[in-house]
Chains A and B, each alone.
Chain A
Amino acid sequence: MRNGSKAPREPAFKVEGLTKVFGTGHSAVHALRGVDLDIPAGELVVLLGPSGSGKSTLLNILGGLDHATEGRVRFFKEELTAMNDAQLTRYRRRDVGFVFQFYNLMPSLTARENVELVTEIASDPLDPAEALALVGLTERLDHFPAQLSGGEQQRVAIARAVAKRPTVLFCDEPTGALDIRTGRSVLRVLQDVNTQTGATVVIITHAAATAEMADRVIDFADGRVREISVNEAKVSAEQIQW
């Protein structure tokens, strides 16, 4: 486990001069325009910023889902930006849990099977039912995504991400579609994963209040980091004021 005391931590990610350009010519979109930041291991980090500012793009690159145009990303001792596809696949399989903005469940698999899809190839996973219990889904294990509400689908997606006991957990707007109460309980799960397994957790959110539970808040705008603030007075998810 890479958790430790509150003492100075080794960075899980070290990002230097990261840029990402989609497309070419005059239709090119500069999603990231030179991002430098460190994400200490074991922290819960919240990424804030207006829509289109490049948050998802950053998360995708950190998660090994996309290639950077320029710049470097180090994950502990390894350099993600230098990895080939096979190495990135291994990295994703071994270390990364992802909660996507659009749930991304397999429509033809039940809730439990969607979780199994990940635990199947993980080395020391939770029991899928246990992972689903963690997000409060004990009743609906054998329902298909189409039979679940948006919030329930999102919770399956979170169970799927935490079930593998990832080293890093990325969540792209995990509460965007949820009501306050459910949103809170989802955040609570993420916080528990962070504290209990020591996983580094990065959450993108529009709800600035979420920042109250973070160790560190990264404010994003226009493809750049605008400000990074360290939160000295972390609160638990239940105490967040919406």
Chain B
Amino acid sequence: MSPLDHKLLRDLWRIKGQAAAIAVVIAVGVLLLVMMDGLVNSLVETKTAYYERYRLADVFASVTRAPRRTLDDLAAIPGVAAVEGRVNGAALIDLPGQQVPIRAQAVSVPEFRAPALNDDYLAAGRAIDPARQDQILLLEGFANAHGLVPGDALTVTMNGARRTLEIAGLAQSPEFLYTTPPGELAPDDARFAVIWMNEKALQAAFDLEGAFNEALLALGRDARLPAVLEAVDRILRPFGGTGAYGVENQMSNRFLTEEINSLRASSRAVPPIFLTVAAFLLYIVISRMIESEREQVGLLKAFGYSSAGIGLHYLKFVLAIAMTGAALGCLLGIVSGINVAEFYRAYYKFPFLLFRVDPAAFITGFIVSVLTASAGSFIVLRRVFALAPATAMRPPAPADYSRSERLGGVFRALLDQPSRMVARRLIRQPVRSLASTAGIGAGMALSVAMLSLMGGFDRTLMLNFSVIDRSDVTVTFTQPLGSDAIYALQRMEGVLVVEPFRNVSAVLRNGLHTYRGAINGLVAEPELNRAVDADMEAIYIRDDGIILAEALAEILRIAPGEMLTVEIQEGTRPVLQLPVAGVARSLLGSPAYFELGALNHSLGEQNRVSGAHLRIDGAYGDVIYDLLKNMPAVAGVSLKSDARASFETLMDTGAGAIRYIMAAIAGIITFGIVYNSAQIAFAERERDLASLRVIGFTKGEAAFVLLGELAVITVVALPVGSVLGYYMSAAIAAGFSTDLYRIPTIFVPSSYGTAAIAVLAAAIVSGWLVKRNVDRIDPVAALKTRG
């Protein structure tokens, strides 16, 4: 081994603590990148594989009643590869001990074959016995939420008839990964069920003998979706078709896709920020390390080593640190990626997980680490190479005191000797001081941003469930009802306010931009479920135009005053041209508000409502739930407390859950940066400090000279970090916002306070660690060698 390689290994060993600290910061930056990439890729891969294995349909179409022979016509549409017709009906499940009946969806399973499309995965128990009409498979998530097992009986009301059914087995399906109670946004395992049942039995229950009410189609490779949808609609229109839609608009898939997109968005937005901060630290620390090798570089040059040879030596040195960090990051990224993906697998209820990381993530991690480390060393080396070896070898460049001397009088008057030394060094090396300040500031910004993000999540929930939605209970009807239903609700004892609404599913279109959602008809001055502007002030609902959620306005690229095409998906399916009257701040969901009367009018109907928000007297809660449960027209009752809990769960276990990991990583990086700044300052000053000890400074005074500098830099970094953090939180919050919920960029003072305390704590711990090093300086040994 060449002597330079000996030097390399020994130098690495000598600075092992610091090298490890740098490597860890780089490692967690790369870890986040690899982990997020692995997570997103794996979810996409797993989803695709799951859909394929269980043959999820590409097109869904509901009809009132179509004879089974229609399926042949559907199969004949060019591009259609497979067809299945089934019965899909609404059901209510009565569980002992549950105040509100639980809504369910009953789907048919062919008697003697597996469904051609939308197969289910039997997770427990047995398949349905074709000879038995009263056996069902129950959605596993729901069964688990209520402790139901195969063999249990279930009381189900379908089409007005109450029956007792036996659970044969528990099933999962790619069609029902997400089960969202109708009228709600967040999925909730406990409050929505799916049952699979014998086809003949379901046909009988819904008066659909020899018929189906839902067609499923799989498409061939080169089918054109719009053409197929059009053909399906044409064939099914006579049978009451409500419009075919592609799998991208299928509820569960749409939700899952949105979740994965949101993870992808945060995986693109956030890790680069973390990696940049880590790279910045790497750059600062590496350049200062090389700077401290100046005399040795000069010596090597004096011996006749070429610049290229010396450059290579130091490149190996910094790459050893940077690549160790990057490799560690890749490794840990895979490990944590697998764990996080497994968490999401369980959450999304995939029966299996295919883990995959894109090599690009590793490559990016390595390139960023290698480039910043090499840049850090080369920029310094170039400067040193420009010096004559005689100059480079001289003990540290003669300090230019002139800048601080101008303040000399002030210094002498105000500061004691050690404080003057701190002040001089800061002023004499402004670039270095600024770089340290910026480094610590960037670390703090990361913590500020992550804490603000946490605050943003809480804020979203708080605002939605206290400012926007102020109801206690929301009732939805099985079909639009007249005003009698509202009077019935108003007459109930304990009901204080009733606010009717009508939701109509619709496709919103602005040129090429479309959104399949709903028009939310509200009363003109809603009290219980309001539209609010950016200042959280109520917006009145208009009858001359639509008020769009800002998320929706963005998707549709539309602004107030412009015309929106609204294709109503119910009744006579009118197509309306309506102006956008305003944009509302929405935090959850993407509503489009229209005045209730005007909505009914444009549908050619009067006083129809699809449900109502209620404010109730808490004391009458149980009585009211009981009454509602027995109203035949009521499809569902959702309590705000349940809805809020569902959303909290979604944010804490869905795509938003990743924020906890990110916050932990932000903390590690912040600490790493502060610690590294302290360590490098110590390394640079070790000999000076030894001199101070020799000329009679106490350990405390020597440490003060070093720690005073760290303290000043840390304190100056706090405001820098706050400002940087504000902008960083905007970027990160945007990365975390989804179609389903938006995370506002908010100024949460406590985030800044907490981040500042974290930085100060990191500085104190680092200071304490460095102080121990100062105490351990052996003045004689440190002064004995030069070079």
Contacts and interface: CB of A to CB of B under 8 A. Distances in A.
A146 B781 contact: yes
Interface in A91-129: 91-94, 96, 98, 100, 102-109, 113-114, 116-118, 120-121
A8 B735 CA distance: 83
A185 B785 CA distance: 22
A241 to B, nearest CB: 31
B301 interface: yes
A146 B781 CA distance: 6
Nearest to A116: B3
B399 to A, nearest CB: 13
Given A65-B390, A100-B393, A104-B299, A89 B306 contact: yes
B304 A93 contact: yes
Nearest to B787: A104
Interface residues of B, number: 31
Given A103-B787, A117-B3, A96 B390 contact: no
A90 B304 contact: yes
B7 A106 contact: yes
Contacts of B307: 85, 89
A60 interface: yes
A109 B307 CA distance: 20
B303 interface: yes
A66 B301 CA distance: 11
Contact of B304 (A121, A145, A146, A150): A121
B4 interface: yes
B630 interface: no
A1 interface: no
Interface in A184-214: none
B404 to A, nearest CB: 16
Given A65-B302, A108-B11, A113 B391 contact: no
Interface string B302-322: 111111000000000000000
B2 interface: yes
B113 interface: no
Contact of A96 (B4, B11, B304, B305): B304
Interface string B10-38: 11001000000000000000000000000
B388 interface: yes
Given A65-B388, A66-B388, A113 B302 contact: no
Interface in B343-374: none
Given A92-B302, A94-B304, A98-B302, A66 B389 contact: yes
A153 interface: yes
Interface size class of A (residues with CB under 8 A): 35 or more
B8 to A, nearest CB: 9
Given A108-B14, A109-B3, A66 B391 contact: yes
Nearest to A160: B303
A233 interface: no
Contacts of A7: none
A28 interface: no
Interface in B287-311: 295-296, 299-307
A65 B307 CA distance: 14
A85 B98 CA distance: 88
B776 interface: no
A116 B781 CA distance: 24
Contact of B787 (A63, A90, A98, A105): A105
Minimum-distance CB pairs A-B, first 7: A93-B304, A66-B390, A65-B390, A108-B10, A92-B304, A60-B390, A116-B3
Interface of A: 60, 63, 65-67, 85-86, 89-94, 96, 98, 100, 102-109, 113-114, 116-118, 120-121, 145-146, 150, 153
Given A102-B395, A106-B299, A109-B3, 13 more contacts: A66-B389, A85-B385, A89-B304, A90-B304, A92-B389, A94-B304, A103-B787, A106-B7, A108-B6, A109-B7, A113-B6, A113-B7, A117-B3
Interface of B: 2-4, 6-7, 10-11, 14, 295-296, 299-307, 385, 388-391, 393, 395, 781, 784-787
23 contacts: A65-B389, A66-B391, A67-B388, A86-B306, A89-B304, A89-B307, A92-B303, A92-B389, A96-B304, A103-B786, A104-B295, A104-B393, A104-B786, A105-B786, A106-B299, A108-B14, A113-B7, A114-B3, A117-B3, A117-B303, A120-B2, A120-B4, A121-B305
